[in-house]
Amino acid sequence: MAPISIKRILISESVDPCCKKILQENGIQVTEKQNMSKDDLIAEIKDYDGLVVRSATKVTADVINAALNLKIIGRAGTGVDNVDVDAATIKGIIVMNTPSGNTISAAELTCTLLMSLSRYVPQAAMSMKAGNWDRKKFMGTELYGKILGIVGLGRIGKEVATRMQSFGMKTIGYDPITPPEVTATWGVEQMSLEQLWPQCDYITVHTPLMPSTAGLLNDTSFAKCKKGVKVVNCARGGIIDEDALLRALESRQCGGAGLDVFVEEPPKNHALVNHPNVISCPHLGASTKEAQARCGQDIALQIVDMVMGKSLVGATTRKMLSYGSFPTMQTEKVGHNIKIITLGINTLSNENVSIYTDLVLVLHVQGYKVIEVDMYI
């Protein structure tokens, strides 16, 4: 596997300082520039071999096509929906995320919102600050014995399930990839969405945003839910349709929503945020010291490994976006060739084949030859 030459990297967001340090220790020149406009980024990107982002930098086709030397786009985090992975794949640019760095933090925030929804903690705190002592208004409900529906049973969904089970919640869920026999080992009974909606007292979504998950909770699915269902979205804005959610909150079909993410960030329309039964955060799921340290370190080490021709972790190509949740794609160097290892898939469906075809294509442009594909659950 031929080493890839990466001399200069641009970090366009607030990424943990360990990222810069690790890259520099490995002889890579690093420039940090935050809050760039699209035009600034287009002008700037020409000079770099690599770009490291979080969720705020929109790496559109314009940006990718303006890049003359770009070989890698590293996402210090999970979701790559702010990167035009199609455009990158076509140019042979590897898009790489850090699949596990912020799992625990995202799961903990989800649990925090579920608990806050059950006991109105944010509303009660605001009421106290306003000088009130209102014990009647904030009558809550126990989580104990309630049913939590988890849509998307990847890493985060799993951690949410096991934590909420300790509160005595029954966890049911749906995922198009993780097999039911696997989720059963961590206490989640899988079923179709049609079966799931009417059973849940709480629903939390943990899928990437893509055509098949946009508006997963919409007017039709809300209508199938129990009246007063409470929902949490710490994944991506738009998985729960925002207009449908507002309608459901107004009709009380939805009894409350915990939102960490929005279609537009920051949201311009404040109708949802201002609704009394909505509690919200400004996309804080990954904003912990621990998660940021992990993601910053992971992305730097993954880039260094790639430069050294050692291995490639978290590589993503356009076809991955057709999935319900991301399988973990890793590669290993075998002599001068490369072996792809996939975690989370046990069958080679047509869709899986297209993932490999794309990954192999990108790797080929970068001078790798794929010799083997292994799959593990």
Ligand X SMILES: O=C(O)C(=O)COP(=O)(O)O
Residues of this chain that bind ligand X (CB under 6 A): 54-56, 77-79, 102, 283, 285-287
Task: Say which of 236, 275, 294, 318 is annotated catalytic.
Answer: 236
How far apart, in whole angstroms, are the C-alpha atoms of residue 286 and residue 100?
A: 11
Task: Say which of 54, 75, 275, 283 is annotated catalytic.
Answer: 283
Q: Which is nearer to ligand X, 102 or 123 (CB)?
A: 102
Nearest-approach distance from CB 49 to ligand X, in angstroms: 22
Nearest-approach distance from CB 112 to ligand X, in angstroms: 16
**Active-site residue 265, yes or no?**
yes
Q: Which is nearer to ligand X, 55 or 204 (CB)?
A: 55
Nearest-approach distance from CB 260 to ligand X, in angstroms: 8
Task: Say which of 265, 270, 336, 364 is annotated catalytic.
Answer: 265
Residue nearest to ligand X (CB): 77
Q: Which is nearer to ligand X, 78 or 302 (CB)?
A: 78
Q: Which is nearer to ligand X, 60 or 287 (CB)?
A: 287
**Active-site residue 206, yes or no?**
no
* R_g of the chain, CA atoms, integer Å: 22
Cβ contacts of residue 274 below 8 Å, gap of 6+? none
Nearest-approach distance from CB 54 to ligand X, in angstroms: 3
Nearest-approach distance from CB 216 to ligand X, in angstroms: 17
Catalytic residues: 236, 265, 283
